Amino acid sequence: MAVTASQTLPQITINTLREMKTRGEKFACLTAYDASLAQVVDTAGVEVILVGDSLGMVVQGHNSTLPVTMDDMVYHSACVSRGCHQSLLMTDMPFMSYTTVEQALHNAARLMQEGGAHMVKLEGGAVQVEVVRQLVARGIPVCAHLGLQPQSVHKLGGYRVQGRETHVAQKMQEDAYALQAAGADMLLLECVPATLAEEITKTMDIPVIGIGAGPACDAQVLVLYDMLDITHGKRPKFSRNFMQGNASLQGAIEAYVRAVKSGSFPAAEHTFN
């Protein structure tokens, strides 16, 4: 079997990302849900590929992430892993798949053993500290997710910016530190004011990925379909059409990587105050 160029490059690991944060070098993250697009993303220089439960909306056609099952996530993660040779592969744990430590351990093991994931991502603040601690103790890298948590969309009252109120912002900071202390290897902030995201990023030792969280985060993530302008309906405020001015998918993704690394994306129009 022929070896592709990406297969000859070093594998991105959590240590790679920590070193990039230390150097002040930004890194890029994108979602993928199948082997073919994963290979395009991988060869375009994206450091982290996220198999997001956003597949429930952009692939399956649901109006939220809630219907996505563990079997769905294992299947799509395994597909992506076959096209991913350099990027770190992170996979979402879907709704209600980590309500207890035992359940979380079982399902995270499936994502790594069957789905080929290098890291799992889960939503929630201090309530998830013990789950994170036990996953990490057993060698499972974890990315925590704060701010807008799509799995809690009904509790939050919709897809709304989180952290504008002083008490909510303070709680988010406390949760971030608690999750880091529990062993979380990365943190993702979604739809939070740029100033809050900047403060959290500067005070955390672990890399912080932002989506709708301003330019100060250590990395940015977008849903692949959003930045390729093939999402049905209104594109989120925090996204940008990178197909504009580019003739190919590869060119659009490479433009995204350059924009993230240079700090030109996200711009003011993609952020929340």
The CATH number of the domain where 43 resides is what? Answer: 3.20.20.60
1 inside domain:
no
Q: How many domains does the chain have?
A: 1
In a domain, 232, yes or no: yes
Place of tokens 């001015």: 245
| Residue 73 structure tokens | 């996530």
Output the pLDDT for position 23.
98
- Below-50 pLDDT ranges, the chain: 1-6
* pLDDT on residue 6: 45
**Distance, CA of 129 to CA of 60 (rounded, Å):** 31
The answer as to whether 48 is a domain residue is yes
CB 194 within 8 A of CB 216: yes
Does some domain include residue 3?
A: no
> Active-site residues: which are they?
190
Q: Helix, strand, coil % (nearest 5) of the chain?
A: 45, 15, 40
Q: Is residue 193 part of a domain?
A: yes
Residue 5 lies in a domain: no
Beta bridge partners of 30: 49, 222
Question: What amino acid is encoded at 121 in this protein?
Answer: K
